Structures are given as structure tokens and as C-alpha cells.
Amino acid sequence: MDIKKLRDEALKELLGAKNLEELEKLEIKYLGRKGVLTDVLKQLKEMTAEMRGKIGAAANQLKHELGSTFERRKKEIKAALDNKKEWVDVSAPGHKLIRGHLNPRTLVLRKVEEIFLSLGFSVIDSTEMESDYYNFQALNFPKDHPARDMQDTFYLTDELLMRTQTSPNQVRFMEHHNPPLRVIVPGKVFRRDASDATHESQFYQVEGLMVDKHISIGNFKAVIEEFFKRLFGKEVKMRLRPSYFPFTEPSFEPDISCTFCEGKGCRVCKGTGWLEMAGAGMVHPFVFKSAGYSPYEWQGFAFGFGLDRLVMMKYRINDMRLLNFGDLRFLKQF
Ligand SMILES: [Zn+2]
């Protein structure tokens, strides 16, 4: 019975154990009820008294030594595991944060504001709830005016409503500011329209107003052509079609050459080569009077774009409703 050899083997295996499972197996192998060392101690009975004393002492000593070595190794392995958990590799690449981004409507609005700011316009905030007076009466829509029918309105009370256009801000702004002035007023407007690919009950307009002495349709054309050129990043042709709005005289609707087919005619422009973009006109003397300006002294033009329409044109989106849904498959494309 070579206790020394047994000791060397056991310690070698024990110190080589890499984890707690290996260590446990070894513990059973050497110190378990049917383990190697237990076996040795059982054999003592069959030995002579002299051998029993000698080997028995050595075997018991080894049993203690292995026992304490097992305990020590267990602690060491556990400590190593704990350290591993807290260890941070500062040189490893970080987890990428998933960032959202702006709705295409916001992207276009920012571009619109940037262009008009560079042309000397200010951007004005406004309210979505409006009075009948500013939304209609001050703009030359008396109570029974048939043009009110074109703007099916959400009334909150007899006098309060959700604005059907951003135009009430013409009079609101002029009441508190002296000319000359140039402003745009972007914002949400509301109409009782059924929802389809090109209509929503809530949509965005960008109102524009420029007032000065000697303002003509020529000024309007210059500003708007420059605006479209910068927004779409290419030359566009413009034409003015006569139209009617109670608060402008004369009134017109600017069309621009189709940005899809360069004016040749396509599905988007319904073969005409032109796209309707806005309502516009020279500010009606009635509106100047509402604001307390003298129509003999001041002139100006006003316009209102559908912002959603600009977004659809710029990004070639064929359904306006997509702008209002939070569908990530759509929104992630911009
Ligand atoms: Zn076209």
C-alpha cells in the first residue's frame, strides 16, 4: 500500500480541477463512502498490528490533508467565478442603442421653415382651437357665406371650433404687429372629411403672409418659385390658375410642373404635367381692415400649402394616411 503515491496522484488531480463539478467528482472518488481512501482504511483490519499503525496513521493524515485541500480549492474556484461576473472588458464594443428618428412630415416641415427663414420670414406658433370670428368672419366669411360649406367644420360651441385653416393667424398676427412683415404659420387643421388616400380629418398646413408697400403677384411668384426649387432640389415651372377665396383678391392656385415626370404627364399628375400645390392670392382689403391696417397703404400676398402634400411629393408617398400611423415598416424608410 503506497500512501505517498496515492497522495501525489490525488493532489495532482485535485489541483488540476477546473470547476466545482470536477472537484465534487474527485471528492467522491477519494473521500466518498466507496472512495479510494475509505477502501484503504477498510483494508487495515486485515493487516498486522505494526502495518496497521503505520499505514493507518498515514492514511488518516492524508484524509485530513485532502479534506482541507478540497475546501481550499472550492473557495478558490468560487472566488474566481465571482470575479469573472464582475469583470468588465472596457475595450469591447458597446451595445448599440436603438434610436428613433423624425417622422417624414417633421423632416419636410424643418426644411420648409429653413427655406422661409432664409428668405426673411419668421415662423409663428399658433393654436388649434379657434374662434368663429378669426377662422371665418375676420377673413370675410360672414355667417351665411356659401364658401363656409367648402370647409366642413368641427364646432366645439357656437363660437368656438377646431380651425379649418391656418389663415386665422393672418388677422391675429397683424393685430399685434406692424407692417412690413413676413411670416409663415405651420400647424394642424381639422375638417370633417372622410379619410382616404389624399384626405384626412386632421392635416397640416403652412400659412404664409407677406405685407409691405408695393407688393405684387410678382413678389409672390419669386418667393414661391424659389421655395419649390430649394425644397425639391431642382428647377420647377410654376403657373397660376385663377381661383376663389373670400379673403384674397385676386385669388389663384399655383401649380408646379410635376416633379415625377418633369411635366411630360404621368399617373401622379393625371397626365397633365402639373401638380396643385396651394391656395393663394393678394390679401383682401377686408382682411386688412379686420386687422386695423389701411388697405390703401399696405399690400400683401398670402398662401396656404398642404404640408402633407409636400411630404407626399418629396418622398413619393401615395397614401397620406401612412404619415399618421406609427407603422415602423413605413417610418424606418426615411
Ligand atoms: Zn407627372
Residue 1, pLDDT > 70, answer no
What is the CA(321)–ligand 1 centre distance, in A?
Answer: 21
Most confident of 65-74, 219-228, 269-278: 219-228
What DSSP letter does each residue of 232-256 carry, written as one string? HTS---EEEEEE--TTEEEEEEEEE
Average pLDDT score over the chain? 89
What is the CA(261)–ligand 1 centre distance, in A?
Answer: 4
What is the CA(255)–ligand 1 centre distance, in A?
Answer: 12
Angle of the 307-315 helix axis to the 104-118 helix axis, nearest 10: 110
Contacts with 12 (C-beta within 8 Å, 6 or more apart), sequence order? none
Contacts with 134 (C-beta within 8 Å, 6 or more apart), sequence order? 168, 169, 171, 172
What is the CA(257)–ligand 1 centre distance, in A?
Answer: 8
pLDDT of residue 116: 97
pLDDT of residue 334: 81
Beta-bridge partner residues of 242: 252
d(C-alpha 57, C-alpha 90), whole Å:
54
pLDDT higher at 249 or 53:
249
What is the CA(265)–ligand 1 centre distance, in A?
Answer: 4
For the ranges 113-122, 138-147, 201-210, 245-254, the lowest mean pLDDT is seen at: 138-147
What is the CA(92)–ligand 1 centre distance, in A?
Answer: 52
What is the CA(263)–ligand 1 centre distance, in A?
Answer: 6
d(C-alpha 21, C-alpha 178), whole Å:
86
What is the CA(33)–ligand 1 centre distance, in A?
Answer: 91
What is the CA(176)–ligand 1 centre distance, in A?
Answer: 43
d(C-alpha 175, C-alpha 291), whole Å:
5
CB atoms within 10 A of CB 46: 8
d(C-alpha 135, C-alpha 141), whole Å:
9
What is the CA(273)–ligand 1 centre distance, in A?
Answer: 5
Residue 54, pLDDT > 80, answer yes
Contact between 134 and 159 (Cβ < 8 Å): no
What is the CA(143)–ligand 1 centre distance, in A?
Answer: 40
Burial class (CB in 10 A: 0-12, 13-18, 19+), 37: buried
Cα-Cα-Cα-Cα torsion 152, 154, 157, 162, nearest 10 degrees, comes to -110
What is the CA(225)–ligand 1 centre distance, in A?
Answer: 18
What is the CA(266)–ligand 1 centre distance, in A?
Answer: 4
SS3 147: helix
Residue 63, pLDDT > 90, answer no
What is the CA(196)–ligand 1 centre distance, in A?
Answer: 21
- pTM summary value: 0.68
What is the CA(269)–ligand 1 centre distance, in A?
Answer: 4
What is the CA(35)–ligand 1 centre distance, in A?
Answer: 90
What is the CA(252)–ligand 1 centre distance, in A?
Answer: 21
What is the CA(286)–ligand 1 centre distance, in A?
Answer: 38
Report the DSSP pairing between strands 160-162 and 122-123.
unpaired
- 151-202 pLDDT, tens digit per residue, is 788 999 989 999 999 999 999 999 999 999 999 999 999 998 877 777 788 8
